[in-house]
Structure 1
Amino acid sequence: MRFLLPITLLAAAISFAFGLVLPLVRVERLFVFADEPSLLGIVSGLWAEGDIALAIVIALFSVIFPTMKLGVLYLAAYGGASGRVLIPDWFRALANWSMLDVVLVALVIFAAKTSGLATAFTKPGLWFFAASAVLTAMASALAKRQHP
């Protein structure tokens, strides 16, 4: 069973990378205009339009925290001279925010569909991001099992 943690961590990291760069959602307005933003595109677009605070919050919870979480998991699984690294307490609080972006995008899709002004469809980036969150949670559980 020790082979599951490396495979899960690798799959989580790859899914996370795809979730950042692939389109999350396709929003069509008036049957003519369509947007397919990626997560990194959303953050850079908000920054460019002057919504710096929102861009920072989304970057923090969408890019920085998940990256830190994967890094801590890699350290917990493979780091340290003794082969054992303690997972900090703040890491557990960080785990609570794993699916925040997926829920927010789902709310945007729901709002677009119910408003009648636009239609929205999920794209692969959202699925990769969600898979990354689930795989990271699985890797965390496997790391805890290996290093109680």
Structure 2
Amino acid sequence: MRTLLPLILFAASICFALGIVLPLIHVDRLYFFADEPSLIGMIAALWRGGDWLLAIVVAMFSVVFPAMKLGLLHNAAYGQAAGAVSIPGWFRALSNWSMLDVILVALVVFAAKTSGLATAFTKPGLWFFAASVMLTATASAVIKRKPRDSAQAAH
């Protein structure tokens, strides 16, 4: 599985980037009006609407922390040959609260703000974001798992 790690991290990074800029949902209101917000668009709309604290929380937990985690995973994966880089425990605990759970809350808040008779459909951004969550979790698990060769050599 370690041989696939660079591919997993690359795919997670691309999916994350696409997930935050592509539309997450398509919302039709009253058959005449439609919105297709991206995560970045939702954060900007919350900010412009005066919900600064919510915009900051969503931005931190859905964009900043996941991007930092991906950066740390890249560092840990490529710096492991030297054995110098590891992911801090406090950041691992914090990253458990990031990504998917907050994006779902953001979607609910955004839908409530655009209330009315509406229908919503998922768009590619949501699927890329979800793929990024799964790929990042996979990469993190692979990095945390100790190689069998070094564990057997220690005995």
The question of a shared fold, defined as TM-score above 0.5 by the shorter chain, is answered with: yes
Instruction: Show the counterpart of 2:39.
Output: 39
Instruction: Show the counterpart of 2:9.
Output: 9
Q: Does structure 1 retain, via aligned residues, the 8 Å contact 2:43–2:55?
A: yes
TM-score (ref. length: structure 1): 0.86
1:85 aligns with 2:85: yes
Q: Which stretch of structure 1 is more off in the superposition, 82-91 or 118-127? A: 82-91
Gaps of 5+ in 2: none
Residues in 2 aligned to 1:96 and 1:26: alpha-carbon distance in whole angstroms: 28
Instruction: Show the counterpart of 1:99.
Output: 100
Residues in 2 aligned to 1:39 and 1:107: alpha-carbon distance in whole angstroms: 12
Q: Which stretch of structure 1 is more off in the superposition, 7-16 or 48-57? A: 48-57
Ranges of 4+ aligned residues in structure 1 off by more than 4 Å: 105-111
TM-score (ref. length: structure 2): 0.82
- Alpha-carbon distance, 1:100 to partner: 1.1
Q: Name the Cα RMSD after superposition.
A: 2.5
Instruction: Show the counterpart of 1:22.
Output: 22
1:128 aligns with 2:135: no
Q: 2:31 is matched by which residue type in structure 1?
A: F
Q: Does structure 1 retain, via aligned residues, the 8 Å contact 2:58–2:103?
A: no
Q: Does structure 2 retain, via aligned residues, the 8 Å contact 1:77–1:84?
A: no
Count of matched residue pairs: 146
Once the two structures are aligned, what percentage of the paired residues are identical?
62
- Alpha-carbon distance, 1:25 to partner: 0.4
